[in-house]
Amino acid sequence: MRNSLKAVLFGAFSVMFSAGLHAETHQHGDMNAASDASVQQVIKGTGIVKEIDMNSKKITISHEAIPAVGWPAMTMRFTFVNADDAINALKNRQPCRFLVYSAGQYLLTQKH
Give the pLDDT score at 83. Answer: 85
pLDDT at residue 20 tops 70? no
* Superfamily (CATH H level) for 32-111: Copper binding periplasmic protein CusF (2.40.50.320)
Q: What is the pLDDT of residues 103-112, one digit of tens each?
A: 666 666 655 5
Residue-wise pLDDT tens digits, 38-76: 567 888 999 999 999 999 999 999 999 999 999 999 999
State yes or no: pLDDT of 80 exceeds 50.
yes
28-35 long-range contacts (CB < 8 A, ≥24 apart) are 29/70, 29/71, 29/72, 30/69, 30/70, 31/69, 31/70, 31/71, 32/102, 33/69, 33/70, 33/102, 34/102, 34/103, 34/104
Domains of the chain, by residue range, sit at: 32-111
Residue 93 has pLDDT above 50, yes or no: yes
What is the pLDDT averaged over residues 79-93? 87
